[in-house]
Amino acid sequence: MNGAADQVMDLIFGRWRSQTLSAGTELGVFDRLDTRSAKSPDTLAAELGADPTMLYRLLRAQAAIGLLEFGGEPAVVPAMLITQLKRKIDSIQAAGGPVFADLHPGD
C-alpha cells in the first residue's frame, strides 16, 4: 500500500484498536497476566468473572494488534508493548506521578 492508503486504514481501524485496548484495561486483563507463565483464556475468564467465549474474542483481537501473544496451546501472555507500558506506569507512580487507575471519564 502507499502512504495515503495506509493513513486511511489507520483512521478506519484506529477507534477499534483503542476500544480493544480499553476493554482489556477495564476488565483487568493485563493486570492478570505476566510474562513468566501463560494463562488459558478459560482460566483468565474465571479469574475475571467474564464470559469465556466473549473474552476469547477480545483476547484474539488484542493479539491481532500486538497487545497479547498466544502460545502453542490456547494460552496468552502480554506482548512486550504491554510489559513495557506497565513498567513505565509503575515508575511514574513510584515517583509520585498520577495514578491512572483513578482517572475516570466524567470525573
pLDDT by residue for the chain (107 residues), tens only, comes to 578 888 888 888 888 888 998 899 889 898 888 777 788 899 999 999 999 999 999 999 998 888 888 876 667 777 777 777 777 777 777 777 665 555 445 44
Q: Which of 51, 54, 83, 81 is nearest to 65 (CA)?
A: 81
What CA–CA distances, in Å, run from 50 to 34, 45, 102?
19, 5, 22
Give me 22's grid cell.
480499553
> Residue 53: what pLDDT?
94
> Residue 107: what pLDDT?
44
